[in-house]
Amino acid sequence: MVTIHDICSKQGARTHMEDRYISKKDPVTGFEIYAVCDGHGGSETAELLVGVTGIHTFIFSELALIPKDKLTESKVIADLIYTTYTRWDIIHKTDTKSSGSTCNLILLTPDKRVFYSINLGDSRTTLYQKGVCVFQSKDHKPDEEVERIKSCGSFVVAGRVGGVLAISRSFGDWSLRSGNDPSKWAVSSYPDIRHITIPKGQECDVLLASDGLWWEHGPHPVKDIHVNSIVSRTPKTKVAQALVNYALNVAKSRDNITVMFLTIRGGGDTLLVPTEK
C-alpha cells in the first residue's frame, strides 16, 4: 500500500515555476511511478516529462511488453529504464533544445516488494525507516564527471558543463549535446538506479524533492540533518509543507521547491538494502 501524505510545490523567488511532479499507477501492469522533475532554461522539458507522452507513459508501455516472470528481475528493469530514457530523450529532441530537466523517480512493483530509485540530475530521493535515514540518491555534479565530459568533447568550468549547466545528467539540454549516440553526450541521460527491497509488513517513508529544498547559498544552508530532523518530528501529513517553509523562510531559498512525501508498506521478505544496478 502507498499513502501519499503531502505534496507541496512553491515557486519561490524565481520568475517562473519550472518544477513538475508525477504520481501515476498503471492499470495494466500495476506498477506505480512517483517523480519530481526540476526544469531549467524553461519549463518545456519538465512539462513534457509529466505530460501525455511523459516518461511514465514510456516506462509503463515498455513494462507491458515484458513477460510477467521477467518483471521480478532487477537487470531486466534496469535495462528497460536505460533504453527508455534514451529513447524518450531522442524522440523529444526538437522540443528540448534550449531547456532541460532533472528527474528523480521511483518505480514501485505491484506487490510492493521492491522499488527502484532512478535518479537523473540533482533532485533527490531520501528513504526513512522508523524515522532514520537509510538511503539517499546521488546528485550528478560536473566536477565528479570531468573525464567523461571531456571524452565527449566538452569541458567543465566553475562546476558547469560547457561553463553553462551545473548538473552533468538530465533530460533535454540538446544545446550541450550532439548526435544520437548517448555514450557521447556530455550531458548524459543515463540514470543511477538502485534496487531496494522493502521488508514485509514494514513501513518506509519516502521523500522526493527538487534541489531548491537543499538551498546552500543563504545564511543558513539546508543540510541533511535539518531535513531529517523535520521529517522525524513532524506529522506525516505536514512534512512536505514544513520542509518547504523551512527552506523558504529559514534558509531563504530562492529556487522553485517541490516536495513529495509518501509511505510504502512493504511486501518483501528481506532487509532493506539498496544495491547499485
Please state the length of the chain: 277
Burial environment of residue 167 by CB neighbours within 10 A (0 to 12, 13 to 18, 19 or more): buried
Decide which of 3.60.21.10, 1.10.3680.10, 3.30.70.20, 3.60.40.10 is the CATH code for 2-276: 3.60.40.10
**Residue range 20-71, pLDDT digits in tens:** 999 999 999 999 999 999 999 999 999 999 999 999 999 999 999 999 999 9
**Residue range 69-92, pLDDT digits in tens:** 999 999 999 999 999 999 999 999
Confidence band for 270, pLDDT divided at 50, 70 and 90: low
| pLDDT at 271 exceeding the cut of 50 | no
Cα 34 from chain centroid? Answer: 9
* Identity of the residue numbered 54: G
Map grid coordinates 522499488 to a residue. 115
Map grid coordinates 535518479 to a residue. 119
Give the integer Cα–Cα distance in Å for 209 and 256.
Answer: 10
The partner residues of 187 in beta bridges, in order of sequence, read none
Strands 124-129, 32-40: parallel, antiparallel or unpaired by DSSP?
unpaired
| pLDDT at 274 exceeding the cut of 80 | no
End-to-end CA distance of the chain: 25
Find all residues with CB under 8 Å of 177, minimum gap 6, and list them. 185, 186, 187
The residue-averaged pLDDT of 7-22 equals 95
Confidence band for 112, pLDDT divided at 50, 70 and 90: confident
Confidence band for 175, pLDDT divided at 50, 70 and 90: very high
pLDDT at 130: 83
